[in-house]
């Protein structure tokens, strides 16, 4: 699957991040807990430079809990400040707020001793499209402060949100990078919805997903789609069988591949297939 995705507004977002960096105290980079490597834009580290950073792994409720524990240990071993969050039910939000304050504790105390008027911690929220930035901000703020949606590209410009007298958040549009050097990265991003389905071949994408799951979570798809066997079958063949079992039949008795593909992608993204992680720490050399 060839995916090239770098529309003009992504260039504008890159400039926006660079221009506003001097205004913030800490960067909160949001990753998808199911794909921590693929959802990490390599350009963000270059843009945010030496600013203190917190890595938030959102959508942890959709990820494989055992693999998430492995990621937590991996981040700790590398010295990263990382927090697993569910921006829907609020898991990890209190911990995130405390961590933002902790990172700036010395500066706050220094300002207090110098008699300077207290100002809130300013945090820039960054991440790829559809990773949950706006939903996270709304949960932190406790109100509908930022525009949200289940499609990438909802946030169009920067937004300052006052969380309290202690914290201000700068929401920014999602930013992808010019080219995916690793084919699997592009597939992972597409599967999880970071790239609009409208520009993709969803039958090929659903087939790719079944190829991956047949190796890592075979029991999940066998149970969900009532499959007899997936041994020695391609992802497309598994998709065909799933379509037949789900009654996705078009006129003439042909299997409606578009319909079953849309169903499979939706059920993966909503964890109806199961809590699944597509990346493990041992699969990569570095982040």
Whether residue 59 is annotated as binding a ligand: the answer is yes
Rounded to 5°, the CA angle 172-175-179 comes to 170
- 98-127 pLDDT tens trace: 998 887 777 777 877 887 777 788 999 998
Whether residue 164 is annotated as binding a ligand: the answer is no
Q: What is the pLDDT, as a whole number, of residue 260?
A: 98
pLDDT, tens digit only, all 287 positions of the chain: 555 545 555 667 777 788 888 889 899 999 999 999 999 988 888 888 788 899 999 999 999 999 999 999 999 998 889 999 999 999 999 999 999 888 777 777 787 788 777 778 899 999 888 898 888 988 988 865 544 444 444 444 567 888 877 788 988 887 776 667 788 888 999 999 988 777 789 999 999 999 999 999 999 999 999 999 999 999 999 999 999 999 999 988 999 999 999 999 999 999 999 999 999 998 876 54
Q: Per the CATH hierarchy, to which homologous superfamily does domain 8-171 belong?
A: P-loop containing nucleotide triphosphate hydrolases (3.40.50.300)
Write out the DSSP string of 247-273: T-B-GGG-B-HHHHHHHHHHHHHTTSS
Whether residue 26 is annotated as binding a ligand: the answer is no
Q: What is the pLDDT, as a whole number, of residue 20?
A: 86
Q: What is the pLDDT, as a whole number, of residue 1?
A: 56
Tell me which residue of 120, 124, 121, 119 sits closest to 170, measured CA to CA: 124
Which pTM does this prediction carry?
0.85
Whether residue 61 is annotated as binding a ligand: the answer is yes
Tell me the CATH number for domain 201-283.
1.10.1580.10
- 79-89 pLDDT tens trace: 889 999 999 99
Torsion angles phi and psi, residue 46, rounded to 5: -70, -40
Whether residue 134 is annotated as binding a ligand: the answer is yes
Whether residue 98 is annotated as binding a ligand: the answer is no
User: 21 with 49: CB under 8 angstroms?
Assistant: yes
Give domain limits for the chain. Answer: 8-171, 201-283
Whether residue 60 is annotated as binding a ligand: the answer is yes
- 224-238 pLDDT tens trace: 999 999 999 999 999
Whether residue 229 is annotated as binding a ligand: the answer is no
Q: What is the pLDDT, as a whole number, of residue 287?
A: 43
Tell me which residue of 49, 58, 270, 30 sits closest to 173, measured CA to CA: 30
Question: What is the C-alpha to C-alpha distance for residues 286 and 283, in angstroms, rounded to an integer?
Answer: 9
Whether residue 133 is annotated as binding a ligand: the answer is yes
Joined tokens for residue 137: 């901000």
Name the packing angle between helices 202-216 and 183-192 (round to 10°).
Answer: 100
Whether residue 58 is annotated as binding a ligand: the answer is yes
Whether residue 186 is annotated as binding a ligand: the answer is no
């Amino acid at each position: 699957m060839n995916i090239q995705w770098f529309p003009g507004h992504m260039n504008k977002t890159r400039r926006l991040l660079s221009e506003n960096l001097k205004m913030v105290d800490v960067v909160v980079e949001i990753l998808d807990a199911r794909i921590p490597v693929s959802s990490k834009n390599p350009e963000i580290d270059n843009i945010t430079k030496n600013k203190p950073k917190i890595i938030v792994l959102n959508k942890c409720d959709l990820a494989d809990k055992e693999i998430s524990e492995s990621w937590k240990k991996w981040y700790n071993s590398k010295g990263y400040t990382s927090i697993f969050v569910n921006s829907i039910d609020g898991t990890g939000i209190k911990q995130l707020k405390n961590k933002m304050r902790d990172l700036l504790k010395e500066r706050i105390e220094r300002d207090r001793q110098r008699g300077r008027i207290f100002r809130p911690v300013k945090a820039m929220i960054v991440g790829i499209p559809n990773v949950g930035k706006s939903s996270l901000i709304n949960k932190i703020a406790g109100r509908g402060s930022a525009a949200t949606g289940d499609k990438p590209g909802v946030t169009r410009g920067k937004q300052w949100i006052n969380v309290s007298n202690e914290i201000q958040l700068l929401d920014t549009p999602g930013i992808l990078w010019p080219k995916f050097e690793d084919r699997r990265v592009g597939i992972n991003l597409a599967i999880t919805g970071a790239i609009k389905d409208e520009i993709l071949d969803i039958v090929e994408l659903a087939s790719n997903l079944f190829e991956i799951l047949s190796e890592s979570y075979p029991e999940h798809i066998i149970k969900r789609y009532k499959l007899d066997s997936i041994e020695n079958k391609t992802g497309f063949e598994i998709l065909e069988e799933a379509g037949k079992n789900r009654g996705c039949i078009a006129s003439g008795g042909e299997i409606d591949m578009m319909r079953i593909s849309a169903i499979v992608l939706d059920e993966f993204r909503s964890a109806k297939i199961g809590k699944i992680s597509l990346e493990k720490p041992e699969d990569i050399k570095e982040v």
